[in-house]
Structures are given as C-alpha cells and as structure tokens.
Amino acid sequence: MADVQAHTARLIALFVSCVLYGILLTTFVPCLRSLLFSASRKFQVKSRHEIKFPILGATVLMFLVSTFSAVLSMQDVIDAFITYNGPGGALEFYGAAHTVNVGWMHWMPAVDDTIQVILGDGLLIYRCYVLYDRNLRAIAAPAVTWIGLVAMSITSSVREATLKGGESLNDPSVLPFLSATLLLTFLTSIITTYLIIHRLLTVEFRPAIRGPIRPHILTQIATIFFETGLIYTLSVIASLGVYLARSNLEYVATLAMIHIIPITCNLLLIRVGGVSVEPPVKTTEVNSSEGKFNPKAADEV
C-alpha cells in the first residue's frame, strides 16, 4: 500500500490537531474549575492548602504546549500551501530540497511531544506517590523508567533538531530513539497504573485498611484510572506502529499525542473529582500489613 505523501499528511495532521484541541478546550475549563473552586459551594475559590499546585501547574503547562503546537501546525500549513510560491508547491516545500530551510518549525513538534510525555507520565507517578502516602520506595520502578524516558526523549528531540536536508522523523538514525521513547512511556504508564489500581483495590476490599471511606468509592476510582490509562496506552501503541512502518503519518501521530496526553490527564481529574468521597467524622491513618493509608489520599489523586 502506497504511503501518504508528506503534504497530505500535514493536512491530515492539522485536521486531527484541530479536532483534538477542541476536545482539550472542553476538558480544560471544567478541569480548572475542579482544581480551583470548591465543589460544595459555587464559585468559591479553594483555600491555598486545598489547591493541588503540582497538578495545577502541570495541567496549565500542558494546555499551553498544546495551544502552541496547534498554532504552529496551522502556521506550517499556511507557509506550505499559501506563502510558498516555489516550484513543486507544498510537496516540494516538505520535500528534500526544502526540509533544511524549514528551521525550528520542522522539529518543534517533537519538542512539544517530549514535554507532554514527560509531564503526563510525571503527573501519573505523582498521583501514585500521593496514594502510597508519599512513600518513595513504592514508586521506585516507574521512577526508573521515567528517568530513562526523560533521557531518551531529550536525546530524540536533539537528534530531530539536527536533521539535515532530506532526512525525516523516520530516518534510521532517529527511529530507534523514537521507538525507545514510546516503549518507555508505555512501560511507565502500565507500571504506574497497575500500582495505583492495586493500591485502590487492596484498600477497597480490606475494611481494616480502608477505614472510614465509603465502600465502592475506591473501586470507581480504580475503574476510572484503568479506562483513562487504556486510552493513552492504545494511543501509544498506534503511534509506535506508525513509526515502525516509517510512514509519513508519523507527523499525524506526533501532533495527536501532543493533545491526547493532556486530554487524558484532564479526563482523569474531572472524573475522579466527580466521585464524591464523604469526609468522615474522624480521619486517621490506618496501619496494616499493606502499609499506611491516609483516607484523604483518595481526594488528592
């Protein structure tokens, strides 16, 4: 089957980017409301100690990166299909002769993707860290894969930024780094999601550990983590398949992941926030063979 031409892939990427950015906008506003305003009282800002600043900072930064990426992809298409008046049109603009002159706009989507992957997986690990009562040993495995992810993502971005004329993202010198990055984010997501779900279900089915939290609440939260993680995991698998096929649709996959990551993070926050955890009269930390569990942790994820 013939591959999609470069200029066609860019148009498809722009369409996908616009659709996903629209979805991101519809999730970003209620996400901010959940982070900044009290659920019990309308339009009352939460107190400083109630605001989850790490999650808020990562959410806003991922939204800004996605916005910048959407604007950049639009400008890229305008330059190719409207501004460029050379022979060959848009196909030549994205071809070997012009690639070297595209400049930073050619490799900036890869940098945006790197930022989103690092922030998205880091945010998931932070939630796991909170859920395990800030026990560093509990997140040792995902932390190791995340550190490897950071190193490989930066290496991949640097290599893409130094591509020469005629080279693309599916160049043999770039493909191993991109594949390794996707595999590491896949492993980080799988391991962290498993740890979170295992913790929630362990606490749910052991009343001595669960303490005062109402039954089935933690099961609902675990289900939300599983469903959201499944969306991200399937997206990573699809992207890896496109990269390994060395298709021009790799640009579509890159732009899609830039938006899918904050969308899944926002959906997770909104849906978990919608599960009400009734505060007990007396909240205490419960010790057991499974370790210490603070009932307030369910509200912090």
**DSSP code, position 291:** -
Q: How far is the C-alpha of 97 from the C-alpha of 78, rounded, in Å?
A: 19
Following CA atoms 150, 146, 137, 209 in sequence, which dihedral angle do they give, to the nearest 10 degrees?
140
95 within a domain of the structure (yes/no)? yes
For residue 199, being part of any structural domain is answered with: yes
**How do residues 8-61 score in pLDDT, each as one tens digit?**
888 999 999 999 999 999 999 999 888 888 766 667 888 888 788 889 999 999
Q: Name, in order, each residue with C-beta under 8 angstroms of 224's C-beta and a sequence gap of 6 or more.
A: 268, 271, 272, 275
How far apart (Å, rounded) are the C-alpha atoms in residues 174 and 196?
33
The dihedral over CA atoms of 180, 183, 185, 191, expressed in degrees to the nearest 10, equals -140
Is 278 part of any domain?
yes
Which structural domain range is residue 202 located in? 6-300
User: 60 Cβ partners below 8 Å, 6+ apart?
Assistant: 32
pTM here is: 0.84
| Average pLDDT over every residue of 223-252 | 88
Question: For residue 97, what pLDDT band results from cuts at 50, 70 and 90?
Answer: very low
pLDDT for residue 63 = 96
Any idea which residue has 């990551």 for tokens?
261
Domain count, the chain: 1
Q: What is the pLDDT of residues 192-204, one digit of tens each?
A: 999 999 888 887 5
Lowest mean pLDDT among 82-91, 212-221, 257-266: 212-221
CB 165 within 8 A of CB 99: yes
Range with the poorest average pLDDT among 210-219, 268-277, 289-298: 289-298
pLDDT at 1: 47
Q: What is the pLDDT of residues 63-72, one digit of tens each?
A: 999 999 999 9
User: Is position 1 within any domain?
Assistant: no
- CATH number of the domain residue 182 falls in: 1.20.1070
